[in-house]
Amino acid sequence: MNWKEEYKRKVSKPEVAIRDIHDGDCVVLGHAAAVPKIIPQVMADHCDDYNDVLIFHMTTLGDNPLLHPRCFGHFRHVSNFLSGNSREAVNHLNGDFFPAYFHDVPEMIGDEIPCDVAVFQATPPNEDGYCSLGVSCDYALAAIRCAKSVIIETNEMMPFTYGNTMIHVSQIDHIIPCAYPLPELHSEASSDVEKAIGRYCASLVVDGSTLQLGIGGIPNAVLAELGDKNDLGIHSEMFSDGVADLMKKGIINGRKKSMHKGKVVTTFIMGTRDLYDFVDGNEDIELYPVDYTNDPIVIARQYRMVSINSCLEVDLMGQVASETIGMRQYSGIGGQIDFIRGASMSREGKSIIAMPSTAAKGTISRIKPFLTPGSAVSTTRNDVNYLVTEYGIARLKGRTLQHRAEDLIRIAHPDFRPMLIEEYERRFQCKYVAE
């Protein structure tokens, strides 16, 4: 049977495809902007037919009908990275969270994360019968290999991407042809605080660096300050519109990269329709599974690797909390440690934690004498290289506890420095001397 005949045979109605899901099964869903839309909606519509079905997912953009309260008790969610639409479900015990480095997730699928049914999006097949996983391939291939049943929504609006994103029609059990736009993530304009942070971070980036950034006001502000740099590269777990803008200007060209020279390498992409159009069929962009992109050893091979991540709070020793607020799980570790450690091992590499100095409209200091009780330490004090706020840069690597505290107080918001100085003088039994 040639692949075209096989494709026709495997085309299914969603209501038929979900018959492969049984009570007690684990369903692994696609990630981020590539989260499937049709199958989750049909599962939610038929939730009364299911009991004790485990749903594994990470960030899901847009509405996730499986997280609606009417589905609780039928579907239970497990994740190692929460977002706005899953946070409340997990924190109200309708799901659970497990700590894990992002690069370990593919290896866990089939073992710690059982996978009975894999549900993903992809492009329609090319002339050889291969579908591209499009804007997210992180743990997809691992799930597709392990699953007893593979359901793929072949979305005509999914960008075709290169790297290691291909699955063949022969690997699929149910094909759901469809055409719907990917969920978009529009970033707001960077605030003055974020712009100041962006300038400080950009000052640490030298020509020929390879960057890892996330999404949001601070990464956007950093990218906006890189217009005078040359020959930058990208090796990142994800990227958004700002990277595309610098690629178009030739500032990001990957010429100095040690690996994948001339290519932007990532494992998933989130942004606007303009970004999705830009990456569609773009051979300068390659996606690989997260156990490759986020492998600290792979990252360390890049010359002048610079990682830029954010956090929720940091204490005077340099311990970083990025994923919890006290006992409340807020997000996850993602690739933060993967890239901090990889960048630290890179020749002339740097790792940066960047954050506003305050939270809650200026009422709470993010630099604290102690982390909020119950908070998980995401990045240990041994791993932090640079910490940046709108008030400057603190280099923590190689610094004593006393010197760390002094530098962190210097970049804290002025309103909270007296409180931090009081703790400093109590702890170190000496007078704090401002520069």
In tens digits, the chain (435 residues) has pLDDT values of 699 999 999 999 999 999 999 999 999 999 999 999 999 999 999 999 999 999 999 988 878 999 998 999 899 999 999 988 888 887 777 889 999 999 999 999 999 999 999 999 999 999 999 999 999 999 999 999 999 999 999 999 999 999 999 999 999 999 999 999 999 998 888 999 999 999 999 999 999 999 999 888 999 999 999 999 999 999 999 999 999 999 999 999 999 999 999 999 999 999 999 999 999 999 999 999 999 999 999 999 999 999 999 999 999 999 999 999 999 999 999 999 999 999 999 999 999 999 999 999 999 999 999 999 999 999 999 999 999 999 999 999 999 999 999 999 999 999 999 999 999 999 999 999 987
Per-residue confidence (pLDDT) for residue 61, from 0 to 100: 85
User: CA-to-CA distance for 41 and 21, rounded, in angstroms?
Assistant: 14
> E strands along 372-424, which residues?
386-389, 392-395
Catalytic residue among 153, 237, 286, 313: 237
Per-residue confidence (pLDDT) for residue 60, from 0 to 100: 86
Per-residue confidence (pLDDT) for residue 1, from 0 to 100: 65
Yes or no: say if 375 and 324 are a contact pair by the CB < 8 Å rule: yes
Per-residue confidence (pLDDT) for residue 429, from 0 to 100: 97
Yes or no: say if 387 and 411 are a contact pair by the CB < 8 Å rule: yes
Per-residue confidence (pLDDT) for residue 95, from 0 to 100: 87
Sign of CA dihedral 95, 100, 103, 104: negative
| Structural tokens at position 73 | 């008790």
CA nearest 138: which of 19, 40, 266? 266
Helix, coil or strand: residue 189: coil
Give CA 332 to chain center in angstroms: 9
Per-residue confidence (pLDDT) for residue 62, from 0 to 100: 79
Per-residue confidence (pLDDT) for residue 262, from 0 to 100: 98
Q: Residues 6 or more apart from 430 whose CB is under 8 A from it?
A: none
Taking 3-state DSSP, the helix, strand and coil percentages for the chain, each rounded to the nearest 5, stand at: 30, 25, 45
Give CA 167 to chain center in angstroms: 23
DSSP state of 360: T
Active site residue 6: no
CA nearest 75: which of 91, 102, 101, 94? 94
Helix, coil or strand: residue 238: strand
> E strands along 248-334, which residues?
264-266, 268-269, 285-287, 305-309, 313-315, 320-321, 324-325, 328-329
